[in-house]
Chains A and B, each alone.
Chain A
Amino acid sequence: MNIIELNKLTKFYGKICGIKDVSFNVTNGEIFGFIGPNGAGKSTTIRTLLNFLFPSSGSAKIFGLDIVKNSEMIKKRIGYLPAESNYYDNMTVRELMDYSASFYNIKDFENRLKYLTDSLDLDIQRKINDLSSGNKKKVSIVQSLLHNPDLLILDEPTSGLDPLVQSAFYEILQEENKKGVTIFFSSHILSEVQRICDRVAIIRQGKIIKVESIENMKKNLLKNVHISFTETSPDCIDIQGVVKYQRSKKEIRFLFDGDINELTACLSKYKIENIAIEDPNLDEIFLHFYKNHEENNDK
């Protein structure tokens, strides 16, 4: 069952394109990554899903409900963690949580609040204005989870959090996910998407470049090859699939997406001191997709 369905969702700000023909689905219980550089259209997509913005064309559904017509019903079951934590002046964390809870008609949330604030080490008696940006982020996390949402929409959730808190936050997310909560995780930091997501959509300049499982992405794509030779390294490796070939006197490095048997056969001609063939990290995948997308556009 699809929890989020986007169908050619498009948003223009006047003549400026925010997102164009964005289509993908997020299934129930999935942790779905949404990655792209700053200004790619991640926040525009999220804000359109939350009906801050009205779509210029296309449509989207959450829990099978239209994002414009049924926004209120959808939001009852959503927890939203914004990229920036901005709250009202002179409010304590406690007052904000009470105000937030009043929208969901939840009366008894003390245990939940205690569990979340203890997990993140957050003092609820303090004024929000007096908090550091990291602690404000914790406030955002708690308010997004307080009402036990079925879907979490997270926009750059770990920015401003120290590694220890990040770790606690990931644990909370994984616990929520085990309980069946679907997570939509938007970020420009690929390592955090790699760490917890099942699938990922890559967005650039308002358009979806690829929707793929993290596993497939890594499996089907470039390998990092690093070879040290006992003698002088070859000028080139003349087989298909060699990308970004870099050579020094006794070493070569390249990315490879061809037949691995062809590569080993080719290398058997040389006296090799050491060889490393590694999975690429997501940054390299990211750059590869961007490059391919640009090349396709140029054609």
Chain B
Amino acid sequence: MISNIYKFELKRISRSSVLWTFFICLLIVINMIFYREMLKSGIVEQMLDFMDSPFIGDMMRGFGVKPESLTDALGFYALRNTMITMIMGSLFAVIASSSLISKEEYEKTAEFLFSRPVKRISILNGKLLAFHTNLLFLNLTSSVIGFISLEIFKNAGYNLYSYFVLCIYTYLLTLIFGSIGLLLSLLVKRGRVFIGAVIGIVLGMYFIEVISNITPSAEFIGYLSPFKYADKDVLKEGYNLEFWKTFFFIFGTVLFTFISYKIFLRKDIIL
């Protein structure tokens, strides 16, 4: 019975996921064109000088900038494009997942859906499956476009495995934000539009990580943010999927999704 909900929801979400994917891919390509131009024009050398100044240098390091990340293709990709894929991917995930049920409530289409002969668990299964299909599509497409742009604009060889690990971290990050969005939407009593709030959560989490990177004394607060667990330091020795970071994402996603199911199966649909 979930197949009809799945197909319907897939079509519904795909309109926005195609748009988000398009803009993410466009920014990836623009950034890589910018990378080639930077190398050609000598801006990189000027930026390396900035890295030596105390305040700006700290700030740049806070945003993950290293001298080698300005010259190496994969380093540059991780610096510029990962921010885009991670933030925009997480925004898509949190907005789409939080709308799965709440949109039915605030647009009052729930009155149609919930009066059909279908179990609540099947409704959520169908909707979540459609959401994850779209999320996978967004991550796969942006990863492929990222790979193609790296191949086109690279100035030297790069570690393809590291790129693959970076894509996995990005996917895991969007997964956990998707589960957070769903859980938050179900905790709200009456379905409401709270896109502003969920966008705030993603950006807030990102800046928590940035602040923890800039300020060594506040490093611990970074661990409140999922961004901290998505390792972006692709150029470091032995860069790989770390067990506890991967565990954090998978455990968090499963836990939040499980709680969401528990809540949804007993939730009053108030219209």
Chain A residues within 8 Å of B, Cβ to Cβ: 13, 47, 50-54, 71-76, 78, 80, 82, 84, 86-88, 99-100, 102-104, 143
Q: Find out whether the CB atom of B111 lies under 8 angstroms from the CB atom of A84.
A: yes
Chain A residue contacts of B119, Cβ below 8 A? 71-72
Q: Number of contact residues on B: which range applies?
A: 20 to 34
Residues in A neighbouring B266, C-beta threshold 8 A = 54
Q: Mark B91-125, 1 if CB is under 8 A from A, else 0.
A: 00000000000000001111110111111000000
Q: What separation, in Å, do the CA atoms of A181 and B4 have in the docked complex?
A: 28
Q: Are A75 and B270 in contact (CB under 8 A)?
A: no
Contacts of B118 in A (CB 8 A): 72, 75, 103
CB distance from B42 to the nearest CB of A (A): 51
Question: Could you tell me the distance in whole angstroms from the C-beta of B262 to the nearest C-beta in chain A?
Answer: 14
B271 within 8 A of A: yes
A99 and B111 alpha carbons, distance in the complex (Å):
14
> What 7 additional pairs, Cβ within 8 angstroms, besides A47-B271, A72-B118?
A52-B111, A52-B114, A53-B269, A82-B115, A86-B108, A87-B112, A99-B4
**Contact yes or no, A84 B108, CB < 8 A:** yes
- Does B8 touch A at the CB level, under 8 Å? yes
Supposing A53-B269, A88-B12 touch, asked if A102 and B109 sit within 8 A by C-beta, the answer is: no
Asked if residues B117 and A73 are in contact (CB atoms below 8 Å), the reply is yes
Interface centre among B12, B114, B115, B116 (most CB of A within 10 A): B115
17 contacts between A and B (CB under 8 A): A13-B268, A52-B268, A52-B269, A53-B270, A72-B118, A75-B117, A78-B115, A82-B111, A82-B112, A82-B115, A84-B111, A86-B108, A86-B111, A87-B112, A99-B8, A103-B116, A143-B112
| Inter-chain contacts of A143 with B (CB < 8 A) | 112
Q: Report the nearest B residue to A51, measured CB to CB.
A: B114
Residues of B that sit less than 8 Å from A by CB: 1, 4, 8, 12, 107-112, 114-119, 266, 268-271
Listed from nearest, the 3 A-B pairs whose CB atoms lie closest are A86-B108, A75-B117, A103-B116
Residues of A within 8 A of B271 (CB): 47, 52
In whole Å, how far is B194's beta carbon from the nearest beta carbon of chain A? 19
Bound Cα distance from A86 to B1, whole angstroms: 23
A51 to chain B: which residues have CB within 8 Å? Answer: 114
A88-B12, A103-B4 in contact; A52/B110 too (CB < 8 A)?
yes
Given the complex of chains A and B, what is the CA–CA distance between A72 and B113 in angstroms?
12
Given A86-B107, A88-B12, decide whether A13 and B117 contact each other with a Cβ distance below 8 A: no
Asked if B109 and A86 sit within 8 Å, CB to CB, the answer is: yes
Residues of A near B107 (CB, < 8 A) are 86, 88
Cα separation A84 to B115 with both chains bound (whole Å):
14
Alpha-carbon separation in the docked complex, A85 to B102 (Å) = 18
Give Cα distance in the complex from A88 to B103, angstroms. 10
Chain B proximity of A266: nearest CB distance (Å): 54
| Across-interface contacts of B1 in A (CB, < 8 A) | 103
Give bound CA distance, A80 to B117, whole Å.
11
**Minimum distance in angstroms from A113 CB to a CB of chain B:** 17
The residue on A at minimum CB distance from B108 is A86
